[in-house]
């Protein structure tokens, strides 16, 4: 779901590994497919373009609104849009009495979402330190910083962000909290984490020093790991025989969860894995789409 940042147009977005995704979804004209994370609609449009029908989920009302304006007029009743988190897609599909031929779940964030000032996901955002894509969720990024212990913060940053300075950042945040100077906006948090890196002797990096911290907080605030497993577990029994589940993940914790989930299903005789190690973007895509460098694809084929 991620795309490259172009200086001339921050809103340009390219879906990741589309050719490989389409290969394993094996689109049949007239069959139904699920896009569990609609985002900017690139994968959904590709499926529709090959004659498939799509039920697309997204908890972000802006993503649904964009697809309603841009895709529905072109594809009509071949596209159904559902503004709920993909953790509930099994229940929704049962209510529709729909058995999909394939499911795609792309756990990355579309660039306009990642740059969203309103949600507090951008390093430059000056609004509240929120990070919720679903406003009904109770926990915000700021409430995590306000209420978590040093050990809890370090665990979040390490387990969900692979942050090498997790303990140092957690201690610095706790100290700032004690002085009443906790960062209150994404821009302030990004500068705060950069300061920790600078004091630790880190001067240059290809990525922003706060990247891992933001990712970890975003994953926890939006319950992304739980939603990933619950959503896929709910939809698997509904798959047609021979249907596939394709998952694109962008974080080691997500990939581990999917690896174990798919292997367990395979051992239980529920289906098969066409390959054991995750597929990654090829050199040409990496050249054209730098954000695809962290993408890992895993596939499950139902019996």
What's the whole-number mean pLDDT along residues 171-176? 98
Number of separate domains in the chain:
2
Question: In this structure, are residues 300 and 259 in contact, taking their beta carbons and an 8 Å threshold?
Answer: no
Q: 215 in a domain, yes or no?
A: yes
Q: 6 in a domain, yes or no?
A: no
Same domain as 255, residue 192? no
So what's the pLDDT on residue 2? 38
pLDDT > 70: percent of the chain: 91
Question: Which of the four pLDDT bands, split at 50, 70 and 90, describes residue 292?
Answer: confident
So what's the pLDDT on residue 135? 81
Contacts 24+ apart (CB under 8 A), 19-25: 20/279, 20/297, 21/46, 21/104, 21/246, 21/248, 21/297, 22/46, 22/47, 22/50, 24/102, 24/244, 24/246, 24/274, 24/297, 24/299, 25/52, 25/101, 25/102, 25/104, 25/244, 25/246
So what's the pLDDT on residue 117? 52
Question: Is the pLDDT score of 279 beyond 80?
Answer: yes
pTM for the whole thing?
0.85
Same domain as 205, residue 162? yes
Average model confidence (pLDDT) across the chain:
90
Same domain as 103, residue 232? yes
So what's the pLDDT on residue 202? 81
Same domain as 232, residue 92? yes
More confident residue, 229 or 204: 229
Same domain as 249, residue 232? yes
User: What's the length of the chain?
Assistant: 303
Same domain as 254, residue 170? no
What's the whole-number mean pLDDT along residues 141-161? 96
Domain boundary among 200, 221, 242: 221
Domain boundary among 172, 199, 221: 221
So what's the pLDDT on residue 109? 64
So what's the pLDDT on residue 283? 92
Same domain as 229, residue 157? no
* Three-class HEC string of 233-301: HHHHHHCCCCCEEEEEECCHHHHHHHHHHHHHHHHCCCEECCCCCCECCCHHHHHHCHHHHHCEEEEEE
Same domain as 95, residue 24? yes
- 187: domain range? 138-221
Question: Is the pLDDT score of 8 beyond 60?
Answer: no
Question: Is the pLDDT score of 7 beyond 80?
Answer: no
Same domain as 241, residue 213? no
Q: 53 in a domain, yes or no?
A: yes
Same domain as 216, residue 73? no
Tell me the per-residue pLDDT of 120-146, one tens digit each, with 9 for 90 and over.
578 988 899 999 988 888 999 999 999
Identify the CATH number of the domain in which residue 192 sits.
Answer: 1.10.150.170
Identify the CATH number of the domain in which residue 85 sits.
Answer: 3.40.50.150
Question: Which of the four pLDDT bands, split at 50, 70 and 90, describes residue 207?
Answer: confident
Question: Is the pLDDT score of 275 beyond 90?
Answer: yes
Q: 3 in a domain, yes or no?
A: no
Q: 125 in a domain, yes or no?
A: no
Same domain as 105, residue 239? yes
Question: Within its chain, how far is the Cα of 83 from the centroid?
Answer: 16
The string of DSSP codes covering 30-46 is T-EEEES--TTSHHHHH
Q: 150 in a domain, yes or no?
A: yes
Q: 80 in a domain, yes or no?
A: yes
Domain boundary among 172, 191, 221: 221
So what's the pLDDT on residue 111? 45
Q: 10 in a domain, yes or no?
A: no
Question: In this structure, are residues 74 and 25 in contact, taking their beta carbons and an 8 Å threshold?
Answer: no
Same domain as 186, residue 48? no
How is residue 22 written in tokens?
Answer: 């389409």
């Amino acid at each position: 779901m991620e795309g490259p940042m172009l200086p001339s147009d921050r809103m340009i977005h390219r879906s990741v590994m589309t050719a490989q995704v389409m290969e394993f979804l094996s689109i049949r004209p007239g069959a139904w497919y699920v896009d569990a994370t609609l985002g900017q609609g690139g994968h959904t449009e590709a499926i529709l373009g090959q004659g498939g029908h799509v039920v697309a989920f997204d908890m972000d009302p802006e993503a649904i609104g964009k697809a309603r304006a841009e895709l529905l007029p072109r594809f009509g009743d071949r596209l159904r849009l559902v503004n709920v988190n993909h953790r509930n897609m099994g229940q929704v599909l049962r209510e529709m009495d729909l058995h999909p031929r394939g499911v795609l779940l792309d756990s990355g964030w579309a660039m306009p979402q990642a740059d969203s000032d309103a949600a507090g996901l951008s390093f430059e955002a000056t609004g509240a330190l929120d990070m919720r894509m679903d406003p009904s969720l109770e926990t915000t990024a700021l409430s995590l910083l306000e209420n978590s212990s040093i050990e809890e913060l370090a665990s979040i940053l390490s387990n969900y962000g692979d942050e090498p300075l997790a303990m140092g950042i957690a201690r610095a945040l706790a100290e700032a909290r004690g002085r009443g100077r906790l960062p209150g906006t994404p821009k302030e948090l990004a500068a705060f984490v950069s300061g920790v890196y600078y004091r630790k002797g880190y001067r240059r990096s290809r990525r922003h020093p706060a990247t891992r911290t933001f990712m970890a907080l975003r994953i926890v605030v939006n319950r992304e790991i739980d939603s990933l497993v619950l959503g896929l577990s709910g939809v698997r029994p509904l798959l047609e025989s021979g249907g596939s589940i394709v998952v694109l993940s962008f974080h080691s914790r997500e990939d581990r969860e999917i690896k174990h989930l798919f292997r367990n299903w395979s051992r239980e005789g529920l289906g098969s894995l066409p390959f054991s190690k995750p597929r990654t973007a090829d050199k040409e895509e990496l050249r054209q789409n730098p954000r695809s460098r962290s993408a890992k694809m895993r596939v499950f084929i139902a019996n």
